[in-house]
């Protein structure tokens, strides 16, 4: 059974109870005002791997990944008194309508996840199209005494009404201090309260019983997850930067509405550095998937490189790392194509079981890849057997390893004649000549392997 590190409980735990037949997972989706960089995409690889492993274990997986296209503050970690919105700010910068901006970057995100072989979620709700769910939830929170409206038409969550606040991040209410960057909003009863609805007459606002405005960032995920996945969610994923305040606030809202713990397991992916620095627009250190393709590298080299580190370990990605991953990817595809020409054979049970066990053990992808390399090099295992194993494991790894099967392979000039000569040398048991001809073929870029059925080449 798949086990993952639960951020709230501080330990590795099975993600579904024994005998469960399904898994429900919510993933905090992108804010669609810019292209996602490879650090952002690492978080979505986490949920994709969870999904693929759960499906291998014959669980019916339902995933919801939202699209934040409105209500997201310029500074994720603090309330912006001007009500500035990232999508609206980008729309002004590009001279386009905010809806056009949102759809453009949403489509770009979808294309990137497809290029990385990430399976699409069952639900992809847009914040702008689910405002009614948020208004309904806010009204319920007010009715239950967990939220309050202010005279200007804003609504705040009453943080003190949720005593277990801080169990995910450790930031307990009694230890939270007022923000140092700006004065505490005088409309709040307590400095740690947060906005569920912001009164405003800017663009992209809606009418509510409290007045015209737009939703707070945190309420979006609570409303969408409860409606589309129900009141019992097995796994909630996201980047480590969302742990506080977003996931703390989201948990408080959802649990206060449902009256019980909604999410069983909170799972977070660590930060990704590039060349030793955090990826940020301000530092000019942002790497997009299209930048990788422009370097002549397969986008799936990014997927492979990210799996070389465990999801909850900080990782430093470099161009050298990506180029090495690209070489490995192309080599494995070539090997799989070569093995496909041999007679099929059952998978080697023990090596495959060890790789699957590594993946089940809190997604130990580095160990799984190390064991896969050992399997690749183990010439005692028949080519057809390794072929079946690599295809089976690729259902989880998602590296498109069968990509080269069936491709027309063209020998370099003179290689066909050398292969014929070597075939005759082997038939005559002239092993010295066969070895010499193998070396000559290697110089031409042709690798020759000897099998019981004869020599093969790649």
Find out whether 458 and 335 touch, Cβ atoms under 8 Å: yes
Question: Which of the 8 DSSP states describes residue 361?
Answer: B
221 is in an annotated binding site: yes
Which residues have C-beta within 8 Å of that of residue 282, sequence separation ≥ 6? none
Find out whether 214 and 207 touch, Cβ atoms under 8 Å: no
Find out whether 269 and 237 touch, Cβ atoms under 8 Å: yes
Helices (H), 277-318: 289-294, 300-307
Distance between CA atoms of residues 82 and 98, nearest Å: 18
Q: Record the tokens describing residue 124, joined without a space.
A: 């992809």
28 is in an annotated binding site: yes
188 is in an annotated binding site: no
Helices (H), 129-281: 131-143, 217-229, 248-258
CB-based burial of residue 176 (10 Å sphere; 0-12 exposed, 13-18 middle, 19+ buried)? middle
Find out whether 34 and 90 touch, Cβ atoms under 8 Å: yes
Which of 189, 93, 207, 98 is closest to 145 using CA atoms? 189
Find out whether 261 and 255 touch, Cβ atoms under 8 Å: yes
Distance between CA atoms of residues 458 and 449, nearest Å: 8
Q: Record the tokens describing residue 292, joined without a space.
A: 């990788």
Distance between CA atoms of residues 165 and 270, nearest Å: 22
- Rg (C-alpha) for the chain, rounded Å, is 27
CA 246 to chain centre: 18
Distance between CA atoms of residues 207 and 184, nearest Å: 26
146: left (phi over 0), alpha (psi -120 to 50) or beta: alpha
3-state secondary structure 184-214: CCCCCCCCCCEEEEEECCCCCCECCCCCCEE
246 is in an annotated binding site: yes
Q: Which residues are annotated as a binding site for Zn(2+)?
A: 28, 221, 246, 250
Q: Which residues are annotated as a binding site for ATP?
A: 281
Q: Which residues are annotated as a binding site?
A: 28, 221, 246, 250, 281
């Amino acid at each position: 059974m798949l086990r993952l590190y639960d951020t709230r409980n501080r330990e590795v735990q099975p993600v579904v109870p024994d005998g469960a037949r399904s898994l429900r997972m919510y993933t905090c989706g992108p804010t669609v005002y810019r292209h996602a960089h490879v650090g952002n995409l690492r978080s979505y690889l986490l949920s994709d791997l969870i999904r693929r492993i759960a499906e291998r274990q014959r669980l019916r997986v339902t995933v919801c990944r939202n699209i934040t296209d409105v209500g997201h503050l310029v500074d994720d970690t603090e309330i912006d008194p001007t009500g500035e919105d990232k999508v609206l700010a980008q729309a002004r910068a590009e001279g386009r309508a905010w809806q056009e901006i949102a759809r453009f970057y949403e489509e770009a995100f979808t294309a990137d996840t497809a290029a990385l072989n990430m399976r699409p979620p069952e639900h992809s709700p847009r914040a702008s199209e689910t405002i009614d769910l948020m208004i309904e939830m806010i009204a319920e929170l007010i009715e239950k005494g967990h939220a309050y409206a202010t005279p200007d038409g804003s609504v705040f969550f009453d943080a003190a009404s949720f005593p277990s606040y801080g169990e995910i991040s450790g930031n307990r209410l009694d230890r939270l201090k007022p923000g140092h960057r700006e004065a505490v909003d005088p409309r709040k009863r307590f400095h740690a309260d947060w906005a569920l609805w912001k009164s405003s007459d800017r663009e992209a606002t809606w009418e509510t019983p409290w007045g015209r405005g737009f939703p707070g960032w945190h309420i979006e995920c609570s409303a969408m997850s409860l409606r589309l996945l129900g009141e019992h969610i097995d796994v909630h994923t996201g980047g480590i930067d969302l742990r506080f305040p977003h996931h703390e606030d989201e948990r408080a809202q959802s649990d206060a509405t449902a009256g019980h713990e909604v999410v069983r397991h909170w799972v977070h992916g660590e930060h990704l550095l590039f060349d030793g620095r955090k990826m940020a627009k301000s530092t000019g250190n942002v790497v997009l998937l299209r930048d990788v393709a422009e370097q002549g590298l397969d986008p799936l080299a990014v997927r492979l490189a990210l799996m070389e580190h465990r999801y909850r370990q900080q990782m430093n990605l470099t161009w050298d790392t990506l180029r090495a991953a690209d070489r490995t990817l192309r080599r494995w595809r070539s090997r799989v194509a070569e093995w496909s020409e041999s007679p099929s054979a059952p998978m080697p049970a023990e090596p495959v079981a060890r790789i699957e066990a590594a993946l089940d053990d809190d997604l130990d992808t580095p160990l799984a890849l190390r064991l896969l390399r050992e399997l690749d090099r183990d010439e005692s295992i028949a080519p057809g057997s390794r072929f079946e194993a690599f295809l089976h494991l690729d259902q989880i790894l998602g590296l498109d390893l069968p990509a080269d099967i069936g491709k027309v392979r063209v020998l370099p000039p003179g290689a066909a004649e050398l292969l014929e000569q070597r075939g005759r040398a082997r038939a005559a048991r002239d092993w010295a000549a066969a070895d010499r001809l193998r070396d000559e073929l290697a110089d031409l870029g042709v690798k020759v392997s000897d099998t019981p059925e004869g020599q093969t080449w790649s």
